[in-house]
Amino acid sequence: MLKKFAVCLSIILLLISAARPISAHTVYPENRVMSGAFGGYSDVTFSMTEENRLKNATGQSPAIYGCDYGRGWLETSDITDSIDYSCNSSLISYWKSGGLPQVSLHLANPAFPSGHYKTAISNSQYKNILNPSTVEGRRLEALLSKIADGLTQLKNQGVTVLFRPLHEMNGEWFWWGLTGYNQKDTERISLYKELYKKIYRYMTETRGLDNLLWVYSPDANRDFKTDFYPGSSYVDITGLDAYFTDPYAISGYDEMLSLKKPFAFAETGPSGNIGSFDYAVFINAIRQKYPETTYFLTWDEQLSPAANQGAQSLYQNSWTLNKGEMWNGGTLTPIAE
């Protein structure tokens, strides 16, 4: 379901998205993949340093700039202190100057009064988190309220947001995901879908946040990528969090396309050759193997194109859309076929 406030950018994403059928004779328009970079965890590492590094290295700024409302991996005495949205002022400025924000959530674990981001929980504990009458359920609601306060600030400034909650759910490292390596747990998957829908309904129905484009992004290096999918009514963009040694060998692209939503590399970067990885190979892989890609967002300063090779090739490629090239802060730029 496309939210009315975000329709303009949704249409643009759909025009350049996986909606086109693939064939041997498909000719794709140039300037169709939005660049993106992660700015850091709000109030801890977030800054505009990454944009500046990329602009110095390439002459361009990323079309998408990311902030995580979770304050890194900090433990807190009050779980709501784990949420911070002071990066909003920078995201608003970025939007008004032709960029698009992505907000992610490394969400604290409501099973505990403090952080415990990577502490595994049982399915019984998961159920308590989903129950608003429990202590755990009230902690979740307090977290969601504060997150919504931050997103409301962005809405009030007219900002459309790529919103990426509960990512990498098919991995075993976050409390909301699986508890064992590639061990399918159908009850766990069902609980995840219930949690995702609870967050969606709270943000959209209770808080009226129609400025969000919802991004579903499993991990490329684990199985069960589509098993956790909550349904087309709750997702606008399907993506992969992909860390790779060979960008031509990323797993899951066809699975994501089968969900018939725009596709993105919502979090990405090299897992080998860090510091010497050539991003020219990555954009060539997108063009040749993943041509339905709508955007990529590189994660972490060490994985940045500015800290590796081929930054110019990536940002100056004829397929890449950079800041100001799809949106100038006032009007959308038409995408020509």
187 labelled catalytic: no
Let me know if residue 332 belongs to a domain: no
Give the pLDDT score at 4. Answer: 40
CA distances from 119 to 32, 157, 251 (A): 39, 36, 27
Q: State how many domains the chain has.
A: 1
Point out the catalytic residue in the list 50, 51, 168, 292.
Answer: 168
For residues 36 and 100, give the distance between their C-alpha atoms in angstroms, rounded to a whole number: 9
Mean pLDDT of the chain: 89
Q: Please, which residues bridge with residue 263 across strands?
A: 238, 293
Let me know if residue 314 belongs to a domain: yes
Element (H, E) at 327: none
Give the pLDDT score at 113. Answer: 87
Q: Report which of 250, 249, 129 is spatially closest to residue 199, judged by C-alpha positions.
A: 129
CATH of the domain at 262: 3.20.20.80
Low-confidence ranges of the chain (pLDDT < 70): 1-31, 72-74, 331-337
Point out the catalytic residue in the list 51, 136, 267, 292.
Answer: 267
Place of tokens 């860390």: 243
Crossing angle of helices 186-201 and 123-130, in 10° steps, is 20
Let me know if residue 100 belongs to a domain: yes
For residues 120 and 173, give the distance between their C-alpha atoms in angstroms, rounded to a whole number: 8
Let me know if residue 328 belongs to a domain: no
Residues 51-95 have pLDDT tens digits of 999 999 999 999 999 999 998 666 777 899 999 999 999 999 999
Give the pLDDT score at 23. Answer: 37
Note the pTM of the prediction, 2 decimals.
0.91
Let me know if residue 245 belongs to a domain: yes
267 labelled catalytic: yes
Give the pLDDT score at 161. Answer: 94
- The range of the structural domain enclosing residue 143 comes to 4-21+29-321
Let me know if residue 190 belongs to a domain: yes
Give the pLDDT score at 95. Answer: 94
Let me know if residue 202 belongs to a domain: yes
Give the pLDDT score at 31. Answer: 57
